[in-house]
Structure 1
Amino acid sequence: MQTGFWGPAHQSVIEYRAMGHRSTKNPPGWRELRRQRWRQTATFHARAMDTLRLLYLAVAPGIAIAVYIHYSDRWDPEPKKLVIKGFIWGALAVFPAMFYEEAFPKVLGWEGSFNDTWWRTIIYAFFGVALAEEACKFFFLKEFIYEDQNFNDPFDGIVYGGMIGCGFATMENIMYVVSAGYETGILRMLTAVPAHAFDGIILGYFMGKAKFCPNPKKLLTQGLVTVIILHGTYDSVAMSNLSWSIYPIFGIVIVGIYLALKAKRELEKTSKRIEFSSKEYFLLEDTGKKEPLTLKDIRNALREGRLKLEDLLVPRTGDRKISIRALWGSQIGLEPRVRAKTPPRVWPAKRVLIFYALTFGFYFYFWFHRNYRNFMSYKKLNIDPELRTLALFAFTIIPFFIYEAIFGEWVPFDPAVGISFNILMAGVEAVFLFVLLRMIRGFFNEDQKKAFPMGLLVLMFFAVSSLRKILPGDIAFYWGWECGLILLQGGVLAVVQKHLNDYWALEREQLADTIAPGPPAKH
């Protein structure tokens, strides 16, 4: 008997011939066998696509945060090769941490029962999980990146620490999401992934300060203990198996994000101060004092390996010797002295649309924060971009979990209430967008105000957001509709970004006119 897919059907041909029948090209049952093969192929393709979607859901949040962190380094961008290495090292740090996490309860005899009591849960959360994961991140950051000559600025700790955290979060997310499904992926996208990323930023903050401090051990210890406390508190609540634990988890994540953004802003000021400082120094060996160096020159020389942190400098206006390490440490926490206000760089509208589509709309939070930050730094506004972004997150994401808890456990679900709630959430998003655009429009000149359709853009954003939220999941071509609506929403932000780019271009031209040298004086 012939083996393979067509084996039974070909056997029927042999039987036909034995009975004296004329041979046929297609044996009996071939149609059913082909349908079976098609069904098998369709099932395989469906499973493959489902796995790819889960993989995308697992990978996208960590990469999106990593891109945000990388582009935050405005004054001295890090080499992409080392940034990618940091991300990979963070991903590899998952495996030794997993080994320790599995061994810890076995050593204590708690295998399968580490969360039977509250005190076991706390011990395992802090010393079995948080200590293992944060220590692995710390080790990989300290061992493979800390001593690199490209780590030449305190803000670099934010970048590389964030990359380690994002890599760790992405690898861990793949393991959880691919096996657990979409609900876990969405929940971790809002909790565990940002928590790992911003724990990495906090760790990098202390490491960035420690490298340029005469007593680094104290700061390194403070950084490790801080992230272990944050991580352990998060895991203690997450492992408690309480029905309401999601609410304190969101609170812990928001606190961690706030601390990370605050640390980022402090070292960002340091990096900006180094970029624009006019103070000049001479190398101690340069007795002739022929080559004055600004802080920016020193930073570039550190990256190129021409100077070391232990090299001694002498300021132009004094004779007090100071090492580069001590000089860098003295700049931390000081306000930058900018020579001239510089408008932020242009962010192409097409890139906004692409990022919005790739992140399924979550890029809105980064775009929202960046625009507030740009206007705060350039116009010297008394606003807090991080606080406003956290408010946007709190009022547009957390209510969905509260709503699900109410209608999932206590109150029967009502479709009309669901539609009303989703439209209300779309309205909240539109209100936050309106407040931002109203502030932006206030800085436009008269021609720009006339060309800027603020009301129409907010209305379109609200309408498309409402349609996205009430779109039934069982509708035909659901993903096609979803992607189309995402592109429409991203298009609204892209139009706003185009008007912003025109505004910043005009500001740049006006700045160039004010600092351009005038005609020579006539004698």
Structure 2
Amino acid sequence: MQRRRDPVERAADESEDLYDISTWEPRSVTDRLAYSVYNGLNYGLRAIVLIVATAITLFVLVQPAILVTEDPSIAVFFGLSIIPAAVLAAFIWYSDITTNEPLGVLVATFVLAVLFTAFAALVNSTVGLWFRTIPGIGTILFFYLIVGPVEETVKLLAVRVFAYRRETFDAVIVGAVYGAVAGLGFAAIENATYIASTVAEIQAQSQTGLGPTAAATGITALRALVGPGHVIYSAIAGYYLGLAKFNPKYAGPLVVKGLLIAAFIHATYNVTVGIVPDLLAAVLPIGFGLAFLGYVIAYNLGAGYFLYRKLSRYRRHYREIRDDRAPSPRSELTEFEPPQR
């Protein structure tokens, strides 16, 4: 997208100096001071956000770290809980028909998602107390207005602040890849905290001396089921972020659309997973555990199919219009990022 020019600049001779008339660049001491202050605030704000996120994350990880210190086998359960989500993220990465994304950028996106999860946890725990005071629909409103939008936003921000700015973000489908990695990072930290808190609670309440390994088994299986959902939801939002990258005129609405869809699917899962398995167990000759397992898998398959159709359509059109020798597509600047000098 070309830079818009003032009428004076368009009409002037290229050799004419229009500094401070219709063009500008840092020349004077004041110019350079303003430029330095802006960059300091811009990068300083990002640094502050990362420092705060890191501090909150370290605080959240205190309990899991203590449990691992007491029983290192708990760390194995943390890893096992994200295997299904990791496999799904790998499949989405494999579906990227354009290029192989740099490992460093993928790792950075994962780490940022881990850090930004702290903000979602803080908002959920703070605002959730107020929604619980609303009789009847308080929990439903909480999931649709807070949990879904907040969690999907922080996962998308993990993509937006770094991977989105890289030259390797060179195709729409790449947004889904980085979105999936952000979802994996979110699931990893969330699973670790859930498993740790559950094990600690069972240990505190158990009168039979139940060990941490036994206590972790059930919650690990549950979190392993939940993890793929985070990958799917954020991959959907990431796909629309990719569309926004290459459609600068409608970038804002596209980002909002992706977040609305991802948040709605996410919140609907949170609302229905506490209702549907009970209904299935009541009307079908199956136990609650099997009903819960079947519903979670069916829901993830439905949401995953929505994402799969988008990825497969992109792959099909990519094959139709490009061959292996064609140069990789280059992204355009959008209103989300400043022009590079």
What's the TM-score, normalizing by structure 2? 0.62
Q: 1:142 aligns with which of 160, 169, 179?
A: 160
Following the alignment from structure 1 to structure 2, what is the Cα–Cα distance between the partners of residues 147 and 47? 42
The answer for the alignment partner of 2:39 in structure 1 is none
* CA contact 1:145–1:160 (8 Å) conserved in 2: yes
Note the 1:65-84 alignment, pairs <5 A. Answer: 65-84=88-107
Q: 1:235 aligns with which of 265, 270, 275?
A: 270
Following the alignment from structure 1 to structure 2, what is the Cα–Cα distance between the partners of residues 271 and 171? 35
Distance change >3 Å, CA 182–CA 203, structure 1 → 2: same
CA RMSD of aligned residues (A): 2.9
* CA contact 1:237–1:248 (8 Å) conserved in 2: no
Report the alpha carbon displacement of residue 133 of structure 1 after superposing the two structures with TM: 0.4
Q: 1:224 aligns with which of 244, 250, 259?
A: 259
The answer for the alignment partner of 1:177 in structure 2 is 195
The answer for the alignment partner of 1:268 in structure 2 is 315
Amino acid at match of 1:216: A
Deviations for 1:293-314, whole angstroms, at most 9, x for unmatched residues?
A: x8x3252xx3xxxxx626xxxx
Following the alignment from structure 2 to structure 1, what is the Cα–Cα distance between the partners of residues 68 and 251? 54
Following the alignment from structure 2 to structure 1, what is the Cα–Cα distance between the partners of residues 69 and 131? 43
Report the alpha carbon displacement of residue 261 of structure 1 after superposing the two structures with TM: 1.4
* CA contact 1:154–1:208 (8 Å) conserved in 2: yes
Deviations for 1:24-81, whole angstroms, at most 9, x for unmatched residues?
A: xxxxxxxxxxxxxxxxxxxx99962531332222243333333333333244111111
The answer for the alignment partner of 1:193 in structure 2 is 227
The answer for the alignment partner of 2:175 in structure 1 is 157
Q: Does 1:211 align with 2:229?
A: no
SS at match of 1:78: coil
Q: 2:126 aligns with which of 89, 103, 107?
A: 103
Q: Percent identity?
A: 22
* CA contact 1:121–1:239 (8 Å) conserved in 2: no
Following the alignment from structure 2 to structure 1, what is the Cα–Cα distance between the partners of residues 191 and 319? 34
The answer for the alignment partner of 2:108 in structure 1 is 85
Amino acid at match of 2:141: I
SS at match of 1:70: helix
Q: Which has the larger radius of gyration?
A: 1
Following the alignment from structure 1 to structure 2, what is the Cα–Cα distance between the partners of residues 270 and 93? 34
Following the alignment from structure 1 to structure 2, what is the Cα–Cα distance between the partners of residues 157 and 195? 17
* CA contact 1:155–1:270 (8 Å) conserved in 2: no
The answer for the alignment partner of 2:327 in structure 1 is 297
Report the alpha carbon displacement of residue 273 of structure 1 after superposing the two structures with TM: 4.4
Following the alignment from structure 1 to structure 2, what is the Cα–Cα distance between the partners of residues 222 and 55? 33
Unaligned runs of 5+ in 1: 1-43, 278-293, 303-307, 311-523
Following the alignment from structure 1 to structure 2, what is the Cα–Cα distance between the partners of residues 266 and 57? 32
Distance change >3 Å, CA 76–CA 271, structure 1 → 2: farther
Following the alignment from structure 2 to structure 1, what is the Cα–Cα distance between the partners of residues 297 and 85? 18
Report the alpha carbon displacement of residue 178 of structure 1 after superposing the two structures with TM: 3.4
Amino acid at match of 1:173: N
Amino acid at match of 1:182: T
* CA contact 1:118–1:240 (8 Å) conserved in 2: no
Following the alignment from structure 2 to structure 1, what is the Cα–Cα distance between the partners of residues 295 and 87? 25
Q: 1:55 aligns with which of 67, 75, 78?
A: 78
Distance change >3 Å, CA 229–CA 79, structure 1 → 2: same
Unaligned runs of 5+ in 2: 1-66, 199-215, 281-291, 334-341
How many residues align? The count is 238
Distance change >3 Å, CA 102–CA 76, structure 1 → 2: same
